[in-house]
Chains A and B, each alone.
Chain A
């Protein structure tokens, strides 16, 4: 979805490195989310933010941190990457209780 962009689209990094995944949206939504997707496990919520001053942990926040720089920008950081953080990461935005709009995803490989 061009309204939600993620950078980079692919990233290979080494164990112990710090990396940042970025998400930008032009939909004007207040709510933003970060998910990871692993085969067979579906989407797991890492962090979510309902406005610039509101940050909440999801079900799997350990090892991750986020920053909501503006209404349109929500970044996810891995302070010290480990191999089991290898996954597909999605950013999503929402303006309601029933719909979320997803970005194209970032494929991360931690060696």
Chain B
């Protein structure tokens, strides 16, 4: 079993839809949970991070962490064509030495 698993997609949605992206993990030592967005031919860029369990909202984006289920989600409201990218979840432990990425989900938002 991989340490971090993520729905591979690709995922296609119409403009304005609510998008849900999810990751599961196996290592209970993970405390920091991140979402990165990667456009084609670009490096990943940090979207949001959350410490431990709970929700965090930033504009149209909401990150949720459920440590009891080892499950994290990223919700995108009112999705736009500019949101079309690959989304990578990532997580690390308290020491920052074990930093692991999921394989990514490719999202296309159709106008």
Contacts and interface: CB of A to CB of B under 8 A. Distances in A.
Interface of A: 1, 4, 31, 33, 35, 40-43, 45, 50, 56, 90, 92, 94, 96-105
Given A104-B42, A104-B43, A97 B101 contact: no
A43 B43 contact: no
Interface string B39-62: 001111110010100000000000
12 contacts: A1-B43, A41-B103, A42-B104, A43-B88, A43-B101, A45-B99, A90-B44, A97-B31, A97-B92, A97-B95, A98-B51, A98-B92
Contact of A102 (B41, B44, B95, B96): B44
A43 B32 CA distance: 17
A84 B2 CA distance: 21
A101 B99 CA distance: 13
Interface of B: 6, 8, 31-32, 34, 41-46, 49, 51, 88, 90, 92-97, 99, 101-104
Q: Is the interface of A mostly helix, strand, loop or mixed?
A: strand
Contacts, number: 56
B92 A102 contact: no
Q: Interface centre among B45, B101, B102, by most A CB within 10 Å?
A: B101
- Nearest 4 interchain pairs by C-beta: A102-B43, A97-B96, A42-B103, A98-B32
A88 to B, nearest CB: 9
Contacts of A105: 41-43
Contacts of B43: 1, 4, 90, 92, 102-105
Contacts of A45: 99
A35 B97 CA distance: 14
Contacts of B34: 98-99
B94 A97 contact: yes
